[in-house]
Structure 1
Amino acid sequence: AFADIQHKLTDNGLLVVNFYGFINGSKGRAARSLYKTLKQAKFDIHLIATPGEENERNLLFMSGKNELKAKQQIIHNMIYEMDLNFDDALLLTDDKPVLEHIYLEAALQWRKDYNEVNAKQFLR
């Protein structure tokens, strides 16, 4: 599907994927797999982390057909490909939809932490 999207994007088009904030360890395997898959589909990728710890933040996969150039300074943390270990990352394919299985650990942790943070704010 990503190859189709990449083909249909205009030269200045952008695919943005908002994802769980985990990028390291077993909880980050899904994000690393998504990155690897976007790269395989020939996207230029800027991976941006919103503020906070991995369990509190989001990852934004800013993906374009051509080299991405920011018109303004990026105020959030960039995560660079050279800083990631892709040894356990999977290449995601349409015929083997495993993403929902490999992000389960991250999703459960994120939901637990999100509920705790919001409960504290609303139950003061």
Structure 2
Amino acid sequence: MAAARRYCVPGERLCSAAEAAAGSGTYTRRGAVCAALAGCLRRGGGAGGVEVYKSFRPGDIVLAKVISLGDAQSNYLLSTAENELGVVVARSEAGVQMVPISWCEMQCPQTHTKDFRKVARVQPQFLQT
């Protein structure tokens, strides 16, 4: 038997931001993921895929270490496993550059919404003054 479809309208609260990360067609507001578009609700990602959103989002600028997997063609792995590596620049849903507030969160200075990110601890000698 097919699962029942759930339709939503812009501004409708879909779930808690702790349950899922905002994706395409949604935004985060007051700790909730809300619909930005009208349509049929669909959960993206898959097993473990939503977990990536706790570290990075499309459009983030990330400092990572390139690790070769041995194939000279095109197989490379990017790692952010060190404290100095991670998100350097991120923009909020409002389009404003976010500021890091901990090693795992950034905040929009305009709307004060918080999003999970794996924040890079950039060394002072690498900052441009």
TM-score (norm 2): 0.18
Q: Which has the larger radius of gyration?
A: 2
Give 1 or 2: higher helix fraction. Answer: 1
